[in-house]
Amino acid sequence: MKWSIAALVVLAMANPASTAERRESYAAPSGTCDGWPRLSIGMAKGFCAGLVAGPTAADKTRPMLFPRELVQLDDDTWLVTDLGGWGTTRGAVWKLETKRGEPTKVSRMLGGLNLPHAIAMGADGKIYVGEMSRIFRFDPHAADPQASIETVVANLPDNRLHENRHPLSAFAFAQDGALLVNIGAPSDQCLDARGKRLGDQCPQSESGERAASIRRYAPDGHGGWSRDYTVYARGLRNSVALGVHRSGTVLQGENSYDFDDRWHPFDEVNWIEAGKHYGWPYCYDTRSVTPGWKATSTIRCASSAHTAPVLLLPPHSAPLSLLWYDGAMFPSLRGKLLLSLHGFRMTGGRIVAFATDEDGVPVATKNARYPVYGGASKPYAMPPSADAFELTPGWDKVAGKRPQGSPVGLTVARDGAIWTVDDRAGIVIRIAADRP
């Protein structure tokens, strides 16, 4: 059977291929994975990866340029955000109509968006989307979903002046109904063009509308949120991976500094608590002082003024999504924290799982190591760290078979399968129990 994508609506742009990153294609699927075309990704025993939508060497049709996150509407329907390309308003929300054993139907539900990333279903049944400078909601069942768009959080920082290094809007619903919203750091280390600090304190961390933080927008009691906000936590470089456990625990995956050293600094998982400062741009790892800020005592990194991570992650691995697995398909994963590691270096391109305690906080282990493509695993050599279970141990680049993986959003489907996207390849993937 020939597998292809039935694109009901095509992006209105002259040359999508010129916008999408050109790189190694996935080989044509061979066989099936729980009824879906099987992708050539090296999976852990008992797992397989199936192609839902997107190009391969057999069919290069690419309706979604840079898919990022996804949400399930019903058993057979999914919505996927698509950045559309950096610095453009070609972003979209796509609808995927899926049935096992049949080609996926892909149609555009919303268009003309500015870097849409996060997507989630609210308690009201509407779909919430994080666009670059706002969060909006819409009714996916409306006759005209585009006309149903309603802004719920406005005036978020953006990069219209090309001054914001981390402009994507991520959010999570807190247990009390508040919206927790990522405000990414405008720069890498809060240094000027000469590598000098911007004062005794970093203005990009301590004050102002662009300060690197997580904001809290309180419910207004009328189905919306207050226009005003409080700063829930500070010193967070980029909280694109953000999640709330059923216990109320808030975790954040930190994309740490872009040091030239390939083995430092470590990325992080932080337990977010109100009023805490998590170190950016003064500190990295558990207590180290960043080079550009050694001459100031704004925060003593080894003191309680800096809230250290609860877990270190491989350096430059770039966590972009996290959730706690609660499905039925994989009993061995129940309660574990899943993370997508998007990084293009040898430590990225993976989906991993960590054991957690009853509050959803990762449990550290002794002598932990992290995997490296093309070489032996390496020790963290410092706490808090833990050995991860790799769902995708073979997602490195192999000529003629696949590019290195670039996973972003993670979602647990109603049947317990794990859905994700590879944004650079433009594909949607379903991870399932290894059966035909």
Pick out the chain residues at pLDDT < 50: 1-20
Query: Domain range for residue 110?
Result: 6-433
Residue 292 lies in a domain: yes
Do 223 and 309 meet the contact criterion of CB atoms below 8 Å apart?
A: no
Do 158 and 171 meet the contact criterion of CB atoms below 8 Å apart?
A: no
CATH number, domain containing residue 72 = 2.120.10.30
Query: For the chain, how are helix, strand and coil distributed in percent, rounded to 5?
Result: 5, 35, 60
Edge-first strand order for the sheet with 127-131 is: 119-121, 127-131, 134-138, 150-153
Q: Is the model's pTM score more than 0.85? A: yes
Residue 1 lies in a domain: no
CA distances from 199 to 139, 189, 190 (A): 46, 13, 10
Name the token pair of 349: 């391109």
* Whole-angstrom distance, CA of residue 181 vs CA of residue 385: 27
* Whole-angstrom distance, CA of residue 244 vs CA of residue 419: 19
* Whole-angstrom distance, CA of residue 133 vs CA of residue 193: 26
Give the pLDDT confidence score for residue 162 in this predicted structure: 60
Please write the tens of the pLDDT for every residue from 189-232. Answer: 999 988 898 788 998 998 877 789 999 999 999 999 999 999 99
Helices (H), 15-169: 16-19
Is the peptide bond preceding residue 265 cis, with omega within 30 degrees of 0?
Answer: yes
Residue 233 lies in a domain: yes
Collapse the DSSP code of 331 into the 3-class scheme (helix H, G, I; strand E, B; otherwise coil) and give the result. helix
Name the token pair of 255: 């994309």
User: Which residue in this structure is represented by tokens 């049949």?
Assistant: 102
Give the pLDDT confidence score for residue 163 in this predicted structure: 66
Is the peptide bond preceding residue 315 cis, with omega within 30 degrees of 0?
Answer: no
Number of domains in the chain: 1
Cross-strand pairs, 231: 215
Residue 237 lies in a domain: yes
Residues 6+ apart with CB under 8 A from 103: 3, 4, 5, 6
377: nearest Cα among 340, 347, 338: 347
Average pLDDT over the chain, rounded to an integer: 92
Is the peptide bond preceding residue 383 cis, with omega within 30 degrees of 0?
Answer: no
Q: Looking only at Cα atoms, what is the longest distance across the chain? A: 65
Do 285 and 266 meet the contact criterion of CB atoms below 8 Å apart?
A: yes
Do 211 and 165 meet the contact criterion of CB atoms below 8 Å apart?
A: no
Residue 243 lies in a domain: yes
Neighbours of 405 (CB within 10 A): 28
